[in-house]
Amino acid sequence: MYPSKFDYHRPSSVQEAVQILSGNPDAKVLAGGHSLIPVMKLRLAAPAALVDIGRIGALQGISRSNGSLRIGACVTYHEIANSADVQAAAPALAEAAGQIGDRQVRYRGTIGGNLSHADPASDLPAAALALGATLHVTGPGGSRSVSASDFFVDLMMTALQPDEILTGVEVPVAQAGTGSAYAKWEHPASGYALCGAAAVVTRGAGGSCTGASLCFNGVSSTAVAATEVAAGLVGSDLSDAAIDSAVGNLSIPDATGDMFASAGYRQELAKVMGARALRTARDRA
């Protein structure tokens, strides 16, 4: 299968890439290509031009400074899953990246592509949301920062404008007493998440919970935060019983049902996966 014809651009800077995008309304960014190329081969997308950002130096690399980790948009899942910095500072993100697709997909797919594509069953949106990531975006008018909670708008829709590029993701480094984890229940054939849960838990000096966050992929049209569960955990002793009781209150009103799993099934699965992610996060806190 061939994609339909397109022009190919390989800019060497973000500025150049943004310029090409703003001059070509039918152009699309190409990163790892592992969502875009399959849909172009099926002719479900036929952009007039591709802007290949894969070789832009500013979009590569993982660096740590001032209590945060900066991950370039074109960093692959393989690099993230195997980065000692990410494993230490944001284990939920390393775990989520390491469970995406298969080893071939993990060598090509990028964090920027995953978050920009915003497939409801993608693994990284919930992790970015739970960890309180900040997304850096550049467009023709300059650069701006968007919090993960404002980035995911709806089904495969983000806060990105067509002529904007996601340049990097900033994740706070876990402080002492904070742990995070990602637990995924995957569809046995596609490997995508029927439900993926990302949890972050902080324990105070006395051992009780001073902060929590629990977010899900795969259960509704976009990554969602279970704020009522997080609120129920704060002040608790984070025992298994406390986690089970907080998760028992989970309600995802717009849970989606499809040919693979009903909305009710996903809702129940989210309780199980949520509790697993919270327990692992607690053990790391």
Which residues make up the interface to ligand FAD (CB under 6 A)?
28-36, 38, 53, 73, 100-101, 105, 109-110, 112-114, 116-117, 119, 122-123, 160, 165-166, 191-192
Using DSSP bridges, classify how beta strands 62-65 and 68-72 pair: parallel, antiparallel or unpaired.
antiparallel
Q: How far is residue 221's CA from residue 232's CA, in Å, rounded to a whole number?
A: 25
**In degrees to the nearest 10, what's the CA dihedral of 66, 153, 181, 262?**
180
Q: How far is residue 90's CA from residue 98's CA, in Å, rounded to a whole number?
A: 13
Tokens 């370039």 belong to 72
> Helix, strand, or coil here: 12?
coil
Residue 163: contacted member of ligand FAD, another protein, none (CB under 5 to 8 Å, by partner type): none
| Residue number, 44 or 176, with CB nearest to another protein | 44
Shortest separation between residue 9's beta carbon and another protein, angstroms: 9
Please give the DSSP secondary-structure letter assigned to residue 57: G
Q: How far is residue 3's CA from residue 95's CA, in Å, rounded to a whole number?
A: 33
Q: Is residue 44 near another protein by the rule CB under 8 A? A: no
Q: How far is CA 151 from the centre of its chain?
A: 11
Residue 85: contacted member of another protein, ligand FAD, none (CB under 5 to 8 Å, by partner type): none
Residue 7: contacted member of ligand FAD, another protein, none (CB under 5 to 8 Å, by partner type): another protein
**Closest-CA residue to 166 (of 187, 142, 135):** 135
Tell me which stretch binds another protein (CB under 8 A): 101-109, 117-125, 207-215, 231-239: 101-109
Residue 160: contacted member of another protein, ligand FAD, none (CB under 5 to 8 Å, by partner type): ligand FAD
| Residue number, 100 or 243, with CB nearest to ligand FAD | 100
Shortest separation between residue 265's beta carbon and ligand FAD, angstroms: 19
Q: Is residue 37 near another protein by the rule CB under 8 A? A: yes
Q: Is residue 42 near another protein by the rule CB under 8 A? A: yes
- CB crowding 82-110: b at 16 or more within 10 Å, else e: ebeebeebbbbbbbbbbbbbeeebbebbb
Site for another protein in 162-201 (CB under 8 A): 191
Residue 114: contacted member of another protein, ligand FAD, none (CB under 5 to 8 Å, by partner type): ligand FAD
Please give the DSSP secondary-structure letter assigned to residue 118: -
**Closest-CA residue to 124 (of 228, 35, 45):** 35
Binding stretches for another protein (CB under 8 A)? 1-8, 10, 30, 33-34, 37-38, 41-42, 50, 52, 54, 78, 101-105, 107-108, 191
